[in-house]
Amino acid sequence: MMVFALACAMSWNYIRCISIANGYTMSQHFLLSAASKTLKLKDIYKAGEEAAYRKFCDIRWAENDGDAVCPRCGHTDAYDIKTRRKFKCKACHHQFSVTSGTIFASRKLDFTDLLAAICIIANASKGLSSIQLSRDLGVQYKTAFVLAHKIREALSRETADAKLDDEVEIDGAYFGGSIRQANEKEDRIDRRRSRHQTGKRRVVIALRERGGRTLTTVAERESDGVAFAKARLENGTIVNADEASHWDALDDVFPTERINHSEAYSLAGVHVNMAESYFSRLRRMVGGQHHHVSPKYLHQYAAHAAWLEDHRRSSNGALAGRSVHNAMASPVSRTWKGYWQR
């Protein structure tokens, strides 16, 4: 009962938090309102390791009231080996823990630190560098780097199979591959020429449904967005795009509205301003936190910014609850498992 009371005190039920979040006044910036702040780091550490552990159990096994469910055979009755925080299935005798088979499998951090990491990342509305996370948690840079990427991978699962409809904006923005210019004018190069580029430049393409989700992909050319849109938009979706000629191909498949940015940013409801807002967040994330992003991982930062954008009206408690939920539903990561051992 004590544990349950502690867990409730931590304001973690994100469904409850979402309804709290809807109670803020519009005149105030959401992040300044009390409704945006439903979770404090202090509370996580004050409630302690057992409460944090129970939080993971409650979210992973919500359908069984937080009691263990065997990941191998699905049996809902298990011996609780409390001293080791392990379970043994009464049917098939398989031993498992609350993180077995999830993206947090083989975790070494305490549950309080895992929750704290999730809280710190949820609080960072423009993302967070691994260096900063490693300082906040007092862990090695490598630990923070992998942990943050595992959380990003888990978050991106929310929209992994999503398709958009109604009205959708499409746009692309280029990231990375910039070269520092030489000091003296005569040594400077024309950075627009392909022979002066690093080959690391990529375009992030965003599909953003008005009032819905944001889907992203990373490609070498913006025109690759045509295939992306065809794969991720329902038939009949109305697409808003700028005047770039490669979007002409969308018109064969979807009713497509075009906005000429040399005339206006928005005319008669035709615009890509929501997609631009998304890119603004991603630019601040990359420019202000990560500085140099490898083309290999750009898709994870892009997806993280999309997630933050889509849930920008959720409280930090709601975001953290969602993060735990996503992590517990995500399988062991092929990219991040044993990343530094390779």
Question: Checking DSSP bridges between strand 167-175 and strand 238-242, what pairing results, if any?
Answer: parallel
Residue of 40, 75, 210, 325 interacting with Zn ion (CB under 5 A): 75
Interaction between residue 88 and Zn ion (CB under 5 A) = no
Nearest to 97 by CA among 75, 68, 74, 73: 68
CA distances from 282 to 287, 295, 312, 331 (A): 8, 14, 13, 26
DSSP 161: T
**Residue with Cβ nearer Zn ion (94 or 163):** 94
Give the one residue of 32, 73, 131, 227 binding Zn ion; rule: CB under 5 A: 73
Closer CB to Zn ion, residue 89 or residue 168?
89
Q: Is 189 in the site for Zn ion (CB under 5 A)?
A: no
CB of 98 to Zn ion, least distance (A): 15
Retrieve residue 189's tokens: 């190069």
Nearer to Zn ion, 77 or 248 (CB): 77
Give, as one character, the DSSP assignment of residue 185. G
Q: Give CA separation, 10 vs 96, 268, 321, in Å.
A: 26, 46, 11
Residue choice 5, 9, 62, 92 for contact with Zn ion (CB under 5 A): 92
**Closest CB to Zn ion among 90 and 135?**
90
Q: Does 94 bind Zn ion (CB under 5 A)?
A: yes
Q: Is 308 in the site for Zn ion (CB under 5 A)?
A: no
Supply the minimum distance, in Å, between the C-beta of residue 147 and Zn ion.
Answer: 29
Residues in binding contact with Zn ion, number by CB under 5 A:
8
Q: Shortest Cβ distance from residue 100 to Zn ion (Å)?
A: 11
Q: Report the residue number, 92 or 227, with the smaller CB distance to Zn ion.
A: 92
Encode 180-215 in three state secondary structure: CCCCCHHHCCCCCCHHHCCCCCEEEEEEEECCCCEE
Q: Report in angstroms the alpha-carbon separations of 38 from 52, 98, 151.
A: 16, 25, 20
The answer to whether 1 and 46 have CB atoms below 8 angstroms apart is no
| Chain center to CA of 285 | 12
Q: Kindly give the residue spans of alpha helices, DSSP state H, lying in the chain.
A: 2-9, 14-21, 41-60, 111-123, 130-137, 141-156, 225-232, 273-285, 298-310, 316-329
Residues 317, 37: Cα–Cα separation, whole Å: 7
- Which CB, 75 or 232, lies closer to Zn ion? 75
Nearer to Zn ion, 32 or 73 (CB): 73
Q: Which is nearer to Zn ion, 199 or 331 (CB)?
A: 331
Q: How far is the CB of 91 from Zn ion (least distance, A)?
A: 5
33 to 72: interface string for Zn ion, x by CB under 5 A: -------------------------------------x-x
CB of 140 to Zn ion, least distance (A): 35
What residue ranges bind Zn ion (CB under 5 A)? 70, 72-73, 75, 89, 91-92, 94
